């Protein structure tokens, strides 16, 4: 089974769970005065769940074949290991680390670390250039956001 | 009316107000270029500044300038790095980005600037003529028609997704709609589908989702396949060689601009359908009426495919001011924020605005025209400098794209959960892209979801049930049109395929 049909199957399950919630669980806690309304919080989700399940079934059944020729620009997921998969996974991990570090160690430190480590992951080795660039970028963006736009960003680690 | 026009002219041409237009457009363009900061957030940030000015017409002119600038800046980042920071420029990236990859980034930016200018200008002229009249057209629409109209819009987006892709696009739209039901809506004051997670109480953030659907997968693709950041002929992208467009190209886009200005404006007038729908519908219509050989080009870097959404979204931006100024009803999220700013400035928009405060009404309309002029004068010469961003080496460009993507979701929310959602959805979006699922319908469904449900609920309440579906002829007609839009291409594609396999009967 091709990837697109696996995905359709997953979406079918998601729509099913969503529909189950809408049909059987949501209305239980509905206050009596709302039950007299022609529309309930679950009405629209019920319609969506049914439509979503129909659509995913159509794709699963293969009624519609994509006639698109594989393009040179597209990435062939069957040969994913031929690409820089390791780098991509590392960068995604770095982004998650960045999300967790923003609050405890502050915007400036975590941003400089993120930019330097991400560039290093991609193969950049001229740290003499890289570190000043990251420092200037983090500093100027912090200044823009905090001072010009007036949005609070914690610059330093907690406790400073 | 002529008298009001004169008052408006003298107000708009005052030194402060011209400064406001230029300043607003500049700020809007630069911030709008950063993926993640769309017009809504920029206007929201600018509101304190505008209120500080005190003069309502100057403040509104400034905010309108920011709005235009942001839309233009958004199309620039759509073309250059395929990262539309704004929903209404998603369609721009369909043809703009392929053009940039073919080394025609300069040409694409010029076409975008000219189309935006023409769309906005023609829209402003139409607004000038039709503002009083069009208000009454919009008044004829009830919530059931708005509901039906949005269904038509969503089906049209799916129907034009390409052969064999209709149901995939439809499924993505429905997933987007499902995602829009997460969180606490204004309608019921009940949290839905949050799973008890506090951070989902207010639903998924639009910007988070937009970044996850477009910017992040593109960045991941760039990492996976290093060849992508280079041009086909091996030279680096980023050199803007040809800014000028040829006479043939000008002739090709001229009718597109004419049609899309009018269509975009009319769609913009209708609340709920705004620049986003206008740009997608404009793209779809131009694709459908194009000649066969041009049709194949669209999506691969066609000037027509670029001009259509760019013209339509700017015309629709202008159009969306009609309900705001004449009825006091915001047609989009952005105009809703503008409405809030107006009320804070002690101006109550509505049918009386034109009579009571003609200087505000007409000055805003005149300043729209001036704003478009400023954008053209400001942006066209700046294009080569703007495009320098592509000359940045890959090792620097990718970390910065990732960083801006993350910042876009983080700024204003200060919430790390948003970043985790962004990364999670980004990975899912990349996998969906591997399997040829179109991602734009998901985002459009998500944006329209809440409005769709609101109008559906209002119609249900009004008719005490789903009777409005068949009792209102216009609603029924629109819904039938939606069905036709979905099933016709699917049916035709299936028949063509079966015939190619020699199974179908000849008829």
Helical (H) or strand (E) element with B191: strand B191-192
Residue of B45, B178, B463 with shortest CB distance to A18: B178
Q: Which residues between 30 and 49 in chain A have a beta carbon less than 8 angstroms from any beta carbon of chain B?
A: 34, 37-39, 41, 43-45, 48-49
Q: B183: which strand partners?
A: B192
Query: Residue B220: what pLDDT?
Result: 85
Record the tokens describing residue B500, joined without a space: 């190619």
Answer whether B164 sits within 8 Å of A66, measured CB to CB.
Answer: yes
Cα separation, B322 vs B135, whole angstroms = 7
- Residues of chain B with C-beta less than 8 angstroms from the C-beta of A16: none
Spell out a b/e string for B13-26, using b for 16 or more CB atoms within 10 Å of the CB, else e: eeeebeebbbbbbb
The CA-atom distances, in angstroms, between B461 and each of A34, A117, B187, B467, B479 are: 12, 56, 12, 10, 19
Average pLDDT over residues B343-361: 71
Q: Which residue has the higher pLDDT, B318 or B388?
A: B318
Query: Residue A148: what pLDDT?
Result: 64
* Pairing mode, strands B183-184 and B191-192: antiparallel
pLDDT band for position B230 (50/70/90)? very low
For chain B, count helices (H), then strands (E).
23, 2
Answer whether B168 sits within 8 Å of A4, measured CB to CB.
Answer: yes
pLDDT band for position B504 (50/70/90)? very low
Q: Which residue has the higher pLDDT, A8 or B139?
A: A8
Report whether B181 contacts B192 (CB < 8 A). yes
Nearest to B91 by CA among B337, B286, B342: B286
Helical (H) or strand (E) element with B221: helix B216-224
Low-confidence winner among A68-82, B69-83, B138-152 (lowest mean pLDDT):
A68-82
Q: Is the pLDDT of residue B471 over 90?
A: no
Report whether B16 contacts B54 (CB < 8 A). no
Low-confidence winner among A26-30, B22-26, B83-87, B408-412 (lowest mean pLDDT):
B83-87
Rank B307-311, B325-329, B411-415 by mean pLDDT and report only the highest: B307-311
Spatial neighbors of B46 by CB under 8 A, at least 6 apart, are B24, B27, B62, B63, B66
Cα separation, B135 vs B329, whole angstroms = 10
DSSP for A60-72 reads HHT-S---PPPPS
Residue B183, SS3 per DSSP: strand
Record the tokens describing residue A67, joined without a space: 């006639």
State the nearest Cα–Cα gap between A69 and chain B, in angstroms. 11
Answer whether B178 sits within 8 Å of A55, measured CB to CB.
Answer: no
Report whether B307 contacts B111 (CB < 8 A). yes
pLDDT band for position A8 (50/70/90)? very high
Query: Residue B158: what pLDDT?
Result: 74
Answer whether B464 sits within 8 Å of A3, measured CB to CB.
Answer: no
Task: Give the 3-state secondary structure percentages of chain B, helix then strand then coil, rounded to 5.
Answer: 75, 0, 20
Q: Is the pLDDT of residue B303 over 70?
A: yes
Spatial neighbors of B499 by CB under 8 A, at least 6 apart, are B506
Average pLDDT over residues B39-63: 73
- Residues of chain B with C-beta less than 8 angstroms from the C-beta of A115: 399-400, 403
State the nearest Cα–Cα gap between A127 and chain B, in angstroms. 12
Q: Is the pLDDT of residue A142 over 70?
A: yes
Q: Which residue has the higher pLDDT, B253 or B334?
A: B253
Q: Is the pLDDT of residue A95 over 80?
A: yes
Record the tokens describing residue B488, joined without a space: 């016709």
Mutation target for B interface from A35, A48, A132: give the one with most B CBs within 10 A.
Answer: A48
Cα separation, B187 vs B449, whole angstroms = 13
Q: Which residue has the higher pLDDT, B85 or B25?
A: B25
Mutation target for B interface from A53, A95, A109, A140: give the one with most B CBs within 10 A.
Answer: A95
The C-alpha R_g of chain A, in whole angstroms, comes to: 25
Record the tokens describing residue B328, joined without a space: 């006091």
Which residue is closest to A9 within chain B, CA to CA? Answer: B171
Answer whether B167 sits within 8 Å of A91, measured CB to CB.
Answer: no
Low-confidence winner among B155-164, B215-224, B290-299, B302-311 (lowest mean pLDDT):
B155-164
For chain A, count helices (H), then strands (E).
6, 0
E-strand spans in B134-198? 183-184, 191-192
Answer whether A41 sits within 8 Å of B192, measured CB to CB.
Answer: yes
Task: Give the 3-state secondary structure percentages of chain A, helix then strand then coil, rounded to 5.
Answer: 70, 0, 30
Answer whether B226 sits within 8 Å of A84, measured CB to CB.
Answer: yes
Average pLDDT over residues B134-138: 57
DSSP state of B227: G
Answer whether B175 sits within 8 Å of A51, measured CB to CB.
Answer: no
pLDDT band for position B390 (50/70/90)? low
Spell out a b/e string for B27-64, using b for 16 or more CB atoms within 10 Å of the CB, else e: bbbbbbbbbbbbbbbbbbbbbebbeebebbbbbbbbbb
Nearest to B335 by CA among B370, B378, B364, B358: B364
- Residues of chain A with C-beta less than 8 angstroms from the C-beta of B394: 122
Q: Is the pLDDT of residue B135 over 70?
A: no
pLDDT band for position A57 (50/70/90)? very high
pLDDT tens figures, B174-218: 999 999 888 877 677 778 888 777 778 778 876 677 778 777 887
Q: Is the pLDDT of residue B38 over 70?
A: no
pLDDT tens figures, B254-299: 888 888 888 888 887 765 456 777 888 888 888 877 777 777 777 7
Q: Is the pLDDT of residue B57 over 60?
A: yes
Average pLDDT over residues B378-390: 66
Answer whether B193 sits within 8 Å of A45, measured CB to CB.
Answer: yes
Record the tokens describing residue B425, joined without a space: 């959805």
pTM: 0.69
Q: Which residue has the higher pLDDT, B233 or B285?
A: B285
Q: Is the pLDDT of residue B1 over 80?
A: no
Cα separation, B387 vs B104, whole angstroms = 11
Q: Which residue has the higher pLDDT, A124 or A49?
A: A49
Q: Is the pLDDT of residue A71 over 90?
A: no
Answer whether A64 sits within 8 Å of B167, measured CB to CB.
Answer: yes
Average pLDDT over residues B467-483: 87
Q: Is the pLDDT of residue B9 over 80?
A: no
Answer whether A48 sits within 8 Å of B410, measured CB to CB.
Answer: no
Residue A2, SS3 per DSSP: coil
Q: Which residues between 57 and 76 in chain A have a beta carbon less than 8 angstroms from any beta carbon of chain B?
A: 58-59, 63-68, 73, 75
Q: Which residue has the higher pLDDT, A71 or B183?
A: B183
The CA-atom distances, in angstroms, between B403 and each of A156, B36, B84, B260, B323 are: 18, 11, 15, 36, 38
pLDDT tens figures, B436-456: 888 777 877 787 777 788 888
Cα separation, B113 vs B124, whole angstroms = 16
**Residue for token pair 């629209």:** A44
- Residues of chain B with C-beta less than 8 angstroms from the C-beta of A59: 167-168, 171
Report whether B420 contacts B103 (CB < 8 A). no
Average pLDDT over residues B62-91: 76
Average pLDDT over residues B60-89: 77
Query: Residue B250: what pLDDT?
Result: 80
Cα separation, B237 vs B227, whole angstroms = 12
What are the domain boundaries of chain B?
2-498
- Cα B344–chain centre separation: 26
Q: Which residue has the higher pLDDT, B192 or B351?
A: B192
pLDDT band for position A74 (50/70/90)? low
Q: Which residues between 84 and 123 in chain A have a beta carbon less than 8 angstroms from any beta carbon of chain B?
A: 84-85, 87-88, 91-92, 95-96, 98-100, 102-103, 111, 114-115, 118-119, 122-123
Nearest to B87 by CA among B217, B277, B235: B277
Q: B192: which strand partners?
A: B183
Cα separation, A42 vs B426, whole angstroms = 28
Query: Residue B235: what pLDDT?
Result: 40
CB burial class (10 A; 0-12, 13-18, 19+) of residue B69?
A: buried
- Cα B140–chain centre separation: 25
pLDDT band for position A149 (50/70/90)? low
**Residue for token pair 């066609």:** B302
Residue of A51, A75, A95 with shortest CB distance to B225: A75
CA contacts within 13 A on the Cβ side of B290: 22
Query: Residue B270: what pLDDT?
Result: 65
Q: Is the pLDDT of residue B412 over 60?
A: no
Residue A70, SS3 per DSSP: coil
For CA atoms B486, B491, B492, B497, the dihedral sign is positive
Rank A58-62, B322-326, B343-347 by mean pLDDT and report only the highest: A58-62
Cα separation, B221 vs B228, whole angstroms = 8
Spatial neighbors of B475 by CB under 8 A, at least 6 apart, are B144, B145, B147, B148, B459, B468, B469
Rank A25-29, B7-11, B355-359, B430-434 by mean pLDDT and report only the highest: B430-434
Helical (H) or strand (E) element with B355: helix B353-356
Q: Which residue has the higher pLDDT, A76 or B416?
A: B416
Residue A72, SS3 per DSSP: coil
Average pLDDT over residues A59-82: 68
Instruction: Say how many C-beta atoms besides its own lie within 10 A of residue A138's C-beta.
Output: 22
pLDDT band for position B149 (50/70/90)? confident
Report whether B70 contacts B193 (CB < 8 A). no
Nearest to B275 by CA among B321, B237, B242: B321
Query: Residue A13: what pLDDT?
Result: 95
Query: Residue B399: what pLDDT?
Result: 86
């Amino acid at each position: 089974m091709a990837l697109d049909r696996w995905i359709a199957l997953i979406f079918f399950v998601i729509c099913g769970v969503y529909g189950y919630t809408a049909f059987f669980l949501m209305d239980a806690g509905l206050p009596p005065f709302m039950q007299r309304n022609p529309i309930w919080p679950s009405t629209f989700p019920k319609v969506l769940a049914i439509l979503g399940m129909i659509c995913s079934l159509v794709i699963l059944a293969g009624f519609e074949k994509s006639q698109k020729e594989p393009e040179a620009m597209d990435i062939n997921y069957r040969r994913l290991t031929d690409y820089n998969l390791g780098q991509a996974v590392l960068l995604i991990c770095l982004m998650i680390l960045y999300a967790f570090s923003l609050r405890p160690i502050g915007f400036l430190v975590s941003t400089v670390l993120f930019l330097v480590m991400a560039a290093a992951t991609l193969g950049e080795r001229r740290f003499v250039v890289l570190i000043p660039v990251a420092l200037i970028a983090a500093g100027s963006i912090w200044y823009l956001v905090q001072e010009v736009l007036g949005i609070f960003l914690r610059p330093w680690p907690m406790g400073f | 009316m002529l008298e009001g026009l004169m008052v408006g002219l003298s107000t708009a041409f005052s030194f402060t107000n011209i400064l406001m237009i230029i300043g607003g457009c500049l700020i809007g363009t630069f911030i709008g270029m950063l993926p993640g900061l769309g017009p809504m957030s920029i206007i929201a940030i600018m509101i304190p500044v505008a209120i500080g000015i005190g003069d309502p017409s100057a403040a509104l002119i400034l905010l309108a300038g920011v709005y235009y600038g942001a839309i233009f800046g958004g199309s620039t980042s759509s073309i250059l790095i395929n990262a539309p920071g704004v929903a209404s420029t998603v369609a721009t990236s369909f043809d703009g980005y392929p053009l940039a990859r073919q080394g025609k980034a300069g040409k694409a930016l010029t076409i975008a600037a000219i189309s935006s200018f023409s769309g906005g200008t023609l829209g402003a002229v139409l607004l000038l003529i039709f503002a009083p009249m069009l208000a009454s057209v919009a008044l004829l629409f009830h919530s059931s028609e708005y509901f039906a109209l949005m269904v038509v819009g969503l089906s049209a987006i799916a129907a034009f997704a390409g052969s064999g892709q209709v149901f995939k696009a439809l499924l993505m739209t429905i997933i987007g709609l499902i995602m829009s039901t997460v969180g606490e809506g204004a309608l019921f004051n009940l949290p839905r589908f949050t799973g008890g997670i506090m951070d989902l109480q207010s639903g998924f953030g639009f910007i988070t989702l937009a970044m996850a659907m477009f910017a992040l997968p593109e960045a991941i693709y760039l990492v996976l396949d290093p060849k992508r950041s280079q041009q086909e002929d091996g030279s680096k992208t980023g050199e803007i060689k040809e800014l000028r467009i040829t006479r043939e190209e000008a002739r090709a886009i001229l009718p597109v601009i004419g049609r899309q200005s009018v269509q975009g404006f009319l769609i913009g007038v209708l609340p709920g359908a705004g620049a986003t729908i206008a740009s997608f519908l404009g793209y779809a219509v131009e694709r459908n009426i194009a000649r066969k050989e041009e049709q194949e080009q669209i999506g691969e870097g066609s000037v027509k495919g670029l001009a259509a959404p760019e013209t339509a979204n700017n015309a629709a931006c202008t159009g969306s001011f009609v309900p705001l100024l004449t009825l006091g009803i915001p047609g989009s999220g952005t105009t809703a924020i503008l409405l809030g700013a107006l009320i804070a400035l002690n101006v109550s928009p509505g049918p009386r605005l034109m009579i009571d405060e003609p200087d505000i009404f007409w000055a805003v309309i005149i300043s729209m025209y001036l704003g478009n002029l400023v954008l053209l004068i400001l942006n066209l010469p700046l294009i080569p400098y703007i495009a320098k961003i592509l000359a940045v080496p890959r090792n620097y460009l990718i970390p910065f794209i990732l960083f801006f993507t993350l910042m876009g979701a983080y700024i204003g929310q200060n919430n790390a959960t948003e970043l985790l959602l962004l990364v999670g959805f980004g990975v899912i979006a990349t996998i969906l892209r591997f399997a040829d699922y179109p991602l734009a319908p998901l985002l459009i469904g998500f944006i329209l979801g809440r409005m769709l449900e609101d109008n559906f609920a209002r119609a249900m309440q009004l008719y005490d049930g789903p009777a409005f579906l068949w009792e209102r002829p216009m609603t029924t007609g629109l819904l039938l049109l939606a069905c036709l839009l979905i099933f016709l291409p699917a049916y035709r594609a299936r028949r063509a395929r079966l015939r190619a396999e020699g199974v179908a009967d000849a008829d």
